[in-house]
Structures are given as structure tokens and as C-alpha cells.
Amino acid sequence: MNLCFTSPTEGPMKLIRRPAQATPIRQFARPTTLGLVTLLWQFHAMAAVGWNVDAPMADPRAQHAGALLDDGSVAVFNGVNRLGFVATGERYSGGSWSSIGGSGIAGNVTEAVTLGTGHVLVRSDGSTNARLYDPVANTWLPAGTQSASRSLPSMTLLANGKVLVAGGSNLNTAELYDPETRTWTATGSMSVVHRAHGAVLLRDGRVLVASGFNAGGEVPVAELYDPVAGTWSLAAAPLVPRHYASLTLLADGRALLAGGFTAGGVTTHAEIYDPVANTWTATGALNFPRNGAMGSPLAHATVLSSGLVLMAGGSDIARNTQPIAELYDPATGNWSPAGSMGTARENGTANLLPNGDVLLTGGFSSNPSLTFYSAVDRYVPAVPPGPAAVTNALPLLQRAGAALILNGTGFTGGTGTSTPQLQLQRAENGAISLWAPASHTATSFTSPPLGTLPAGLYMARLIVDGVPSEGRLVRFTDPVGTPAGIPGNAQVTVSWAPPLDNGGNPPDSYTVTSNAGPGCSVAAPATSCTVTGLVNGTPYTFTVRAQHPNGLGPVSLTSAAVTPTAVAGPGPTPVPGLSPFGVALTALMAAALAVLSRRGLAKR
């Protein structure tokens, strides 16, 4: 169910369109990423497996958006409650909430995606204006104007760092947001109108859109978006058309479509899409009918670090909310109960934290009366017994395609003989990849080269004897091109090419460092600067790093040696020389003048 929206199978529920008055929230100093992740891990270690009540938000809200930020905190944006639209946001960190101010937009349903810059792109139904939340400055920025107002579209972070917004309202159109230019451009249109549909980025970089509803009822169509061509093609049709369902990428690359509202009411049906075979296959049914489950229709269910899928919340056809959560096991195709939440709800949000817990925020229930919640529950998943590896902090921005190196303790388990695996999980779509070590010891791990990964925020964990470490948040970006230098007098002008692929995270500036210390800096888009104060006759090498909005990029390769040289200044003007003939003629003229002088003729 979606409040304030009329679907073909549900009547509308009207709310007063009046801005909500936000309750003041205590501000706090934002901790470092390491400190925050440590706090989250300590909470995880102290909490019981299953559901735990966490600190509530200041404002009740439902149909809001949630996003994991680069420092491991979670932000929630906008929503609705009894007062109408909620146009403010809050940020969860270390067990408490703080205000992030007003977004400047409001609507029935809000979507959000964390960009490569660390900013969060936020859009709401009923507005063509999008906004950017800057978590470092805790401020809001404009994010351009969409071509159309869309109600219940999908919003997907692509592998190239752009964002695809597709469908919604009575539209089959789609558009792309470019974080480098902060502009929106049209892309290919879908074959039919989809709204309240599922959408997920597949491993091959395509986007799967499944079902939804439109003026004709449930949409019996799935489509695939190719970001390279900017076009859509039909995929195999889902077995059961539905809307307000959950579409989730599994660890093996298939996609799980579960629950939702069908022509026959709220369903327990689930099915799996295989992108290689282009087929849908029925899988185990949910134990309880659900629509408006956590993360749905706004996002997806939550893929845990174990690869299990957590489905929580939602309601049945009578609008009774379901307190019991469920876990889907892709290996068996079955669902099992996962305990009861502290507050049964629908249309809240669920976000996976770096420590593996799931944070559930807000939502509403209709029975026995319409109630909106500020309540927050945290799900702590069970893990095998045994010690977890402890990994040291990592720089956020890592070199794309290179090996990832982790240091810490306990990498070979309690017996000292176990082999660790690196797990990378993309926050936006939950995609999981596992990497055996190229080399490892009890205190270090080096992966093989990681190759090309989709742009996004990743949680890097070490799995030892099935026990995951806390996740370290990383992004992958190319370094700047290998610099080159032109020598001058006690100086060298250094130039370079910008990163070939920045994952939607363009540099703000560049810093040049020499092997002897002196360097220079310049704001982007400039790609050269002059290092002064060098010693003539001494060879120097140089490296360059890009400063991105959310951190320093990887170091470039080292330049060839360049030697500054003094430039010779202008000397005295030389006297023109005479040819041998000129010398002889000059001598003859001098002799003639001497003769004339003796005869006295030279004085006349």
C-alpha cells in the first residue's frame, strides 16, 4: 500500500498537504569513519541475535528514503506522516539521530541514491526538482531539473556512476542524472508504462525492470535497459505480474521477485529471474503475504553478508502489518522465520550497515488506526561460532582494477591454518563477490587484481571460517594519468590527464608531489601546474593525486626524471668580423692615407 496514491486495486488514502514541523534534534560532532564503524561493531557485538530496539527518529515518517553514507552512517529523507509531507531528514550515527535540515522538496514517496561523490541524490513524487545532500558539509545543493514529475518511478545507480530514473506516473520514459555535470538527459523509453515496479542493476551492467502497474492494471512485462546503447529490450515476462513487490539481486547474479500486490490481492508468490537464460522460475513462497515490505516499493529486500535475503514488514490484503520477518536461502529456495520486529510496519526503509546488521526505520500501520512510526529496529544476523578477523581502516578511495590489501589480525582463524576470503558487497544493490587471496598471512591479505567493478560504495569484509569481519567502506576510482614534466630555470611544469574512469566522482583539485618534497596544487579542471624552488642540474620525479569531494584518490604512476636547467642570458653584442679580402682592402686604404698624409694632401 502507498498512501495518497490511487492504484487500480486500492482506494486512495488522503492526507493533509501541510508541511510537518520537525522536532529539534540534538546535534553531535560527526565521528571519523573508523570511529563510527567501531561504534557500530561494538553495538553489533553487544546486541542479541535477532531483533533489537534502537534509538527512535525524532519525526515519525513513512514512504521515506534511506541511504548508507561514505562514513557508515545512515541518512533518511522526507516521507509522510499525519501532518502531511515531511520535508526534513535525519542522520543515524553511533546510536543517535541528528537533523540534516530540509531538503527543499517534498512528496508522497521519496527515493535516494548515494553517488560516487558521497553526495546523496534525492527526489520526491510531485516535484521535478532534485536535490543533493552533502554529508560532509551537512548542507543541501540543487541537483538540476527532471524532464517530468514522476510518481513511483524506479531509481538505479548504474555501473558508470550515473543514475537511471524510469517510469512512474503514466510515463514510459526514462532519464539519466550525471553527477559530473549535475544535469538530467533523456534516454530510451520503455515499451510500456511501469510504476511501483521493481528495478535492479544486474551483474552485466544492465537494469532489470519488472512488472508494476499502470492504467491497464498489473503490468505483465519485464524490460532490460542497456546503458551503453541507451535502449530497452523486452525480457521474459514474469510469472505473476505485481506491484509493490521486492526485486533483489542474489549473490549468484539472479534476481528474486517476491510478494507484492497482484490482481488477486497481496501474494506470497516468489520467482527468480535468470539473466543468462532469460527465464523466470517459481521458487519457495513467502510464509506471509506482504506488500510494502521494508525497502519495497522504494528499493529491495536486504541481502545479508551471508547471501541470505531478509524480508521484513509489509501488510496483507486487510492492511494488517506483519511483525514476523523472513529469510530466503537461495541454496534451498525456501523461506524461514526470522523473528518478530519490535514494531510491525509497512513502507519503511531498511539499510544494511557495515557491521552486517540491518537498520529498519519508520513506516506506518493501518489497523486498528492509521499510525506513523519513528521507531527503529535493528536486525542482528546469526553467524557461525568463532573469532572474527579484525581489519585495519582503509582509505575510502582505492585504485580501480588493482589488488586490495588489508592488514589486521586473526586472518587465519583460531587454529592459524584457515584461508580467508575477501567479500565485496555493493551497498546500492547488495551484489556480492568473493575473492580468494593472492597471498595472505595471519595479519595481511592481498587479493588478486579486482578488474572492473561497477561504480558504488562497497563493504570489504574478510570471511574466515564463515565468520565475517566488520565491513570497511571503499570506492574504486582510476588514478590520474602518468605525469610528464617540462624543465625550466629552477622549476618544472608538470601536466597529466584526468582519471579515465572516476566512477561518477570527478576531482575537485590535484596535488603534485616531487621526490624531493616541493610540489604544487591546482583546482580542476586544470591539469598542469609548475613546481618551483628546485635545484638546477638535479633530476626530479613527480606523482599526482586527485582530491575528490569525498577523499584523496590513488597516487599516479611516477613520471620520468626531469632536470631543471638554467637558461643562458644575453651577452655583449659581438663585433662583425672581416673577410680576408676585407682585411687586405683595409690595409691598402690605410697605406694610401699614410702617403697622402706625408704629402699634405690629406689636410685639404
State residue 570's pLDDT score.
Answer: 54
Q: Is 39 helix (H, G, I), strand (E, B) or coil?
A: helix
Q: Which residues pair with 166 in a beta bridge?
A: 154, 174
Q: Is the pLDDT of residue 18 over 90?
A: no
Q: Considering the chain, what percentage of its residues have pLDDT values greater than 90?
A: 82
44 vs 443: which has the higher pLDDT = 443
Nearest alpha-carbon partner for 349 in 165, 44, 6, 110? 110
Distances (CA, A) of 186 to 175, 229, 231: 4, 13, 11
Cis peptide before 297 (omega within 30 of 0): yes
State residue 567's pLDDT score.
Answer: 78
Label residue 292 by pLDDT band (50, 70, 90). confident
Which class does domain 33-380 fall in?
A: mainly beta
Q: Is 598 helix (H, G, I), strand (E, B) or coil?
A: helix
236 vs 604: which has the higher pLDDT = 236
State residue 8's pLDDT score.
Answer: 32
Nearest alpha-carbon partner for 535 in 469, 473, 566, 490? 490
Label residue 442 by pLDDT band (50, 70, 90). very high
State residue 47's pLDDT score.
Answer: 64
Q: Considering the chain, what percentage of its residues have pLDDT values greater than 70?
A: 85
pLDDT tens for each residue of 324-333: 999 999 999 9
Q: Is the pLDDT of residue 309 over 80?
A: yes
> The C-alpha cell of 548 is what?
575528490
**How far apart are alpha carbons 244 and 221 in whole angstroms?**
15
**How far apart are alpha carbons 180 and 143 in whole angstroms?**
11
pLDDT tens for each residue of 85-111: 999 999 999 899 999 999 999 999 999
pTM: 0.86
pLDDT, averaged across the chain: 88
Distances (CA, A) of 276 to 254, 352, 374: 9, 28, 42
State residue 126's pLDDT score.
Answer: 82
Label residue 414 by pLDDT band (50, 70, 90). confident
Q: Is 84 helix (H, G, I), strand (E, B) or coil?
A: strand
Assess whether the region 33-380 and the region 484-552 belong to the same CATH fold.
no
Give the torsion sign (CA, 548, 552, 553, 556).
positive
State residue 48's pLDDT score.
Answer: 85
Q: Domain coordinates of the chain in residue numbers?
A: 33-380, 390-476, 484-552
Q: Is the pLDDT of residue 11 over 70?
A: no
State residue 38's pLDDT score.
Answer: 40
| pLDDT mean over 334-342 | 97
Label residue 4 by pLDDT band (50, 70, 90). low
Label residue 533 by pLDDT band (50, 70, 90). very high
Q: Look up the CATH number of domain 390-476.
A: 2.60.40
pLDDT tens for each residue of 360-398: 999 999 999 999 999 999 999 999 999 999 999 999 999
586 vs 509: which has the higher pLDDT = 509
Q: Is the pLDDT of residue 34 over 70?
A: no
**How far apart are alpha carbons 357 and 345 in whole angstroms?**
19
Q: Is the pLDDT of residue 39 over 80?
A: no
Nearest alpha-carbon partner for 70 in 388, 380, 395? 395
pLDDT tens for each residue of 258-290: 999 999 999 999 999 999 999 999 999 999 999
pLDDT tens for each residue of 543-580: 999 999 999 999 999 999 999 999 765 544 444 444 55
37 vs 54: which has the higher pLDDT = 54
| pLDDT mean over 341-369 | 95
558 vs 603: which has the higher pLDDT = 558
Nearest alpha-carbon partner for 115 in 136, 87, 146? 136
| CATH fold label, 484-552 | Immunoglobulin-like (2.60.40)
> The C-alpha cell of 505 is what?
566522482
